[in-house]
Structure 1
Amino acid sequence: MLAYIIGVVLFALGICISVALHEAGHMLTAKAFGMKVRRYFVGFGPTVFSWRRGETEYGLKWIPLGGFCDIAGMTALDEVTPEEAPRAMWRFKTWKRTVVMSAGSITHFLLGFVVLYLMAVTMGLPNIAAASEPIPPVIDATSCARAATTTAQLNDESCPPGSPQPAKAAGLMHGDKILSVNGKPTPAWTDVLKVVQDAGGPTPVVVQRGNATKNLVIDIPRVKRLTSDGTVREVGMMGAKTVVPPANLHYNGLTAVGATFSFTGTMFAQTAQRLVQFPERIPAVVSAIFGGERDPNTPVSVVGASRIGGEAVQQGLWQLFFFLLASLNFFIGVFNLLPLLPMDGGHIAIVWYERVRDWIRGLRGKAAGGPVDYTKLSAVTMVIVVIGGGITLLTVTADIVNPIRLQ
């Protein structure tokens, strides 16, 4: 239980640090361009403590959920003092404002990349190809064919004296690739198991050994085995193991760079796919709240992600813990760039709308237009805020009453 609590706290702390660094990304880029940053605070609510350094007030608030960065004149409609006016954010070039507004998401991307890189050089990155592709029927070693009616017997890989070794007796060797069993093609190891389990007695097997093709006959015995559905039944067994691809791939400090970039690209594609599927998964969240089975692919809140992180630590699955933390950073980064207010992507979209609009007006010999009136978009913004709040409430509720659990 203690490990679970530690995992929950660590994951929640990781999220808080990520969001705080998100705001730090805005602050540092704004300062680099010469914009005035009034305040940078971690958390919300009443102030715990604060201090002023230069023209910026820094501090910590009681509710450690996120933070904020107050940049003078983010839009032309914001009030600024005469002293702040020359350095108001809206006066800067479009590309500079874009960099500042996207810096939060870029920070999330960098954090996710760093987490994955550290995983690559320590515990390894998940072997996505091995997880998504069928295991090829390449023999690693031969073994015996013996009965196993309990879980303990299944886990015991020793061969009792006198146990038949049909694959070895037939001449099957390490590195042989099984092409067919009993005349049926076997492109994957699962195909081999299916045919062998239904077979019995002398069975023709065709294998590829180097550049040659060998025809073997394996005398397959029928033995009693505990199956995945918990029942015991008699199946055919030839006594051979396949080469199982490693679940994790390890790298050194140099090769980890390319591997991390490649893995990050895969995660970005998966993140985009989850965003597209996000709306259609909401009904499943509602169903889970009222007792339906919780689909592990449904969205989770910070509460749910922290609970999964806690279970990962409790079970010693630190790779899953850090993988989940990196995934969450990528998701937040991409989600925040959606061209919808009040996200940063919405502000970026408006900035570039003004830029393109003024460019077109210039081609037509007209003066630049005024700034977009954000107040006219308040209704749309409120709708998005209400929808976002509703989804957050649903996911938090589901993560409390019917959470996703590690198996």
Structure 2
Amino acid sequence: MCIVEVIAFVIGVVLLVVGLAVSIALHELGHLWPAKKFGVRVGQYMIGFGPTLWSRRRGETEYGFKALPVGGYISMAGMYPPSPKELAAGRDGRAGGGFFATMVQDARAANDETLDGHDDDRVFYKLPVWKRVVIMLGGPFMNLAFAIVLFTVLLSGIGVLSATTTVSSVSECIIPADTDRTECAASDPQAPAVAAGIEPGDVLVEVEGTPITTFADASEIIQASPGQQIEVVVERDGETLTLQVTPVAVERAVTDETGQPVLDENGDPVTEEVGIAGIRQEVAYLRQPIWTGAQTAAQNVGAVAGIIWQLPVKVYETGVTLVTGEERDPNGPLSVVGAGVLAGEVAAADAPVLNRVAGLLSLLASLNIALFVFNLIPLLPLDGGHVAVALWDGLKRAWAKMTNRPPPKPVDATRLVPVTFVVVIALVVMGGVLILADIINPVSLF
């Protein structure tokens, strides 16, 4: 890899890190805006974890960046109800009852600190259920909205790289398939397109009376007409010309749906006779309708959800490749390290700048879809877990109202800290396996 490719690779990684930081910032803003709108006290809005690199307080909220850009958080007052008075009064810094009991007490102590001595309604747990759900879903939906914007810029602003109906080049001759030559020899027959007068820049309009909307339409008719004269209508410099083309018959291997050659009973490749004219299509970016970005985002949500629900299995299979050295599933899960490697490869690819920009936008949009889906998993400490707690609280209150019972106490989610701990450990282990795999046995675009 030359120095220019190395620099491009590093630039790609840096751009992905910046894009990921923006995604995290937007995610936390999705929590912050509705929380403040609903009157909840927010003590901190932080991008990253670990030691604080920079912060500034505005009003009652401290905004800042921390050393490890692997996530973010906002600190809302009273995420959970305050500790029972008898526990709060007797807290002496020690906890009995074992490891998990200590964790529960520490979680309650941290939650009590967010109350900051206030006894008012500006706390999260006192909000109506629907407001709590809106706050917790605000983060993931900001990632979804960002992904839709990115896909829209990619598909409607830049476009999709597609084969057009414009002829980009015309072969001078037909070179036999069993030779390694790339230059025409005197014995090679003249290409049918040249003989017919087709020129680069011509736009295919009709072939044998069939209107052409894609280059594949023309190719299908040409391949089905070996040795037969067909009528080709082209547009050149604003004029319509009708030309006569006789495709040359050549032998081609028959392939199945996966692109593999079809074999006969003796194990030999099956061939078929097809016609070729010796023209190549022009490839260009075709801009898509404005709603295509949202459609693509929705399709990606379904694809990512299919991976997320079987994530432990996928991570296990990835871990197996560390031992066996087998090729990884290119559609399997990646860590941030793997995504950075892909971003570097895209940036360093031998391709036009616009192609590389499109690749980076697509990668960042896909990462935001992954953040959206992953955070909806109904397990603490993920946003989906907080939504599940709020809905459970709402169901309890609704049941009490239906049965004419007194309103129940707010759900104390600190009791779920042991479950949260197990989930965090599982996420750390899976993340570690993916990081190792992305270093030792990475997925490569090329």
| TM-score where L is the length of structure 2 | 0.70
The structure-2 alpha-carbon separation of the partners of 1:217 and 1:307, relative to structure 1 and needing over 3 Å to count, comes to closer
Q: Specify which of 266, 277, 288 is matched with residue 321 of structure 2.
A: 288
1:213 alignment counterpart: none
Between the aligned partners of 1:357 and 1:336, the Cα distance in structure 2 is 24
Letter in 1 for 2:15: L
Between the aligned partners of 2:221 and 2:309, the Cα distance in structure 1 is 34
The structure-2 alpha-carbon separation of the partners of 1:25 and 1:151, relative to structure 1 and needing over 3 Å to count, comes to farther
2:395 alignment counterpart: 356
- Helix, strand or coil for the counterpart of 1:85? coil
Is 1:344 equivalent to 2:383 in the alignment?
Answer: yes
Between the aligned partners of 1:57 and 1:119, the Cα distance in structure 2 is 35
Letter in 2 for 1:147: P
Q: Among the aligned pairs, what percent are the same residue?
A: 32
Between the aligned partners of 1:121 and 1:217, the Cα distance in structure 2 is 39
Between the aligned partners of 2:305 and 2:23, the Cα distance in structure 1 is 20
2:423 alignment counterpart: 384
Matches within 5 A, 1:4-403: 4-77=9-82, 78-79=111-112, 80-83=115-118, 85-125=120-160, 144-147=173-176, 153=182, 163-165=189-191, 175-176=206-207, 220=249, 238-240=275-277, 248-251=285-288, 255-256=289-290, 258-290=291-323, 291-315=325-349, 316=351, 317-403=356-442
Letter in 2 for 1:110: A
Between the aligned partners of 1:76 and 1:208, the Cα distance in structure 2 is 77
Question: Deviations 1:325-380 (Å, cap 9, x if unpaired)?
Answer: 00110111111011111101011011011112211221111112122232332232
The structure-2 alpha-carbon separation of the partners of 1:273 and 1:241, relative to structure 1 and needing over 3 Å to count, comes to farther
Question: Deviations 1:138-194 (Å, cap 9, x if unpaired)?
Answer: x999865322567772xx7x8979624468989x99733799xxxxxx99968986x
Which range is displaced more, 322-331 or 61-70? Answer: 61-70
- Helix, strand or coil for the counterpart of 2:55? strand
Q: Deviation of residue 92 (structure 1)?
A: 1.4
Asked if structure 1 preserves the Cα contact closer than 8 Å seen for 2:144 and 2:368, the reply is: yes
Q: Deviation of residue 48 (structure 1)?
A: 2.1
The structure-2 alpha-carbon separation of the partners of 1:23 and 1:365, relative to structure 1 and needing over 3 Å to count, comes to same
- Helix, strand or coil for the counterpart of 1:87? coil
Q: Deviation of residue 277 (structure 1)?
A: 4.3
Which range is displaced more, 311-320 or 114-123? Answer: 114-123
Letter in 1 for 2:206: G
For structure 1, the 5+ residue unaligned runs are 180-185, 197-201, 210-215
Between the aligned partners of 2:248 and 2:181, the Cα distance in structure 1 is 26
Asked if structure 1 preserves the Cα contact closer than 8 Å seen for 2:12 and 2:347, the reply is: yes
Q: Deviation of residue 42 (structure 1)?
A: 1.9
Between the aligned partners of 2:154 and 2:346, the Cα distance in structure 1 is 15
Between the aligned partners of 2:400 and 2:120, the Cα distance in structure 1 is 26
- Helix, strand or coil for the counterpart of 1:341? coil
The structure-2 alpha-carbon separation of the partners of 1:40 and 1:218, relative to structure 1 and needing over 3 Å to count, comes to closer
For structure 2, the 5+ residue unaligned runs are 1-5, 83-110, 199-203, 211-215, 234-244, 253-259, 262-270
Question: How many pairs does the alignment contain?
Answer: 367
Between the aligned partners of 2:31 and 2:414, the Cα distance in structure 1 is 23
Q: Deviation of residue 312 (structure 1)?
A: 0.2
Which range is displaced more, 281-290 or 386-395? Answer: 281-290
The structure-2 alpha-carbon separation of the partners of 1:51 and 1:221, relative to structure 1 and needing over 3 Å to count, comes to closer
- Helix, strand or coil for the counterpart of 1:367? coil
2:242 alignment counterpart: none
- Helix, strand or coil for the counterpart of 2:275? coil
Between the aligned partners of 2:420 and 2:280, the Cα distance in structure 1 is 55
Q: Deviation of residue 57 (structure 1)?
A: 1.4
Question: Deviations 1:193-229 (Å, cap 9, x if unpaired)?
Answer: 6x99xxxxx86799999xxxxxx99662569xxxx99
Between the aligned partners of 2:208 and 2:309, the Cα distance in structure 1 is 40
Instruction: Provide the alpha-carbon RMSD of the alignment.
Output: 4.0
Asked if structure 1 preserves the Cα contact closer than 8 Å seen for 2:250 and 2:276, the reply is: no
Between the aligned partners of 1:289 and 1:190, the Cα distance in structure 2 is 44
Letter in 2 for 1:71: M
| TM-score where L is the length of structure 1 | 0.76
- Helix, strand or coil for the counterpart of 1:122? helix
Between the aligned partners of 1:44 and 1:399, the Cα distance in structure 2 is 23
Question: Deviations 1:61-83 (Å, cap 9, x if unpaired)?
Answer: 22222222101011214311343
